[in-house]
Amino acid sequence: MKTYDTRFGPFSIADEGIWHCIAPMPGFTHLQRFALLHLPSQGPFVWLQSLDEALITFLLVAPEHFNLHYSQVPHFAKTTGVSMLMVILPQTQNGTLQSNSLAPLYFLPETRQFGQWIVEHHEMPTEPLSASDLPPAKLQAQIIVPIQAMDTQKTEGGQSLATGAA
């Protein structure tokens, strides 16, 4: 177990909690090691925290929360995986959440690897939006939930976790 500096303070993370990026994200090709952080109070949202650069985080959610589905898989997928979308936080108080639906991340839980891939299209399922308050079950075993559960949900600088992103 090693302690890493993160946007939300220091975290002790075991090797089993580290994800390796095998298909780098454009603009972030130098980042290779990440952890998935989840606060139960934030429902289905998960933070993808860079372990190479403490201030870089991405907010993720399952595609079903935006009523999306991907039937294709990326070229680097050797096993079954889980798609996740980057969430684009609103820039105004009354703005709505958006997602980067044409560039999902694909996580391979068996190998703790993931990558970003570009899709030509996505399907709109006929079922309603997901109402789950949890991240995808296939990822839950490898998501880190802070022991202190960040009771105040504030970073050291006073920034709310609900609004922090890279």
* Residue 137 DSSP code: H
The pair of structure tokens assigned to 101 is: 């639906």
pLDDT, average across residues 61-66: 90
What is the set of domains in the chain, with CATH numbers? 2-144 (2.30.290.10)
Tell me: pLDDT of 66 over 90: no
One-character DSSP codes across 140-155: HTTEE--TTTTTT-B-
Mean pLDDT of the chain: 82
Residues 6+ apart with CB under 8 A from 91: none
- Name which residue leads in pLDDT, 17 or 163: 17
The 10s digit of each residue's pLDDT in 105-156 is 999 999 999 999 988 766 655 555 556 677 777 777 777 776 554 444 444 4
- Name which residue leads in pLDDT, 163 or 38: 38
Question: What's residue 125's pLDDT?
Answer: 53
Question: What's residue 58's pLDDT?
Answer: 96
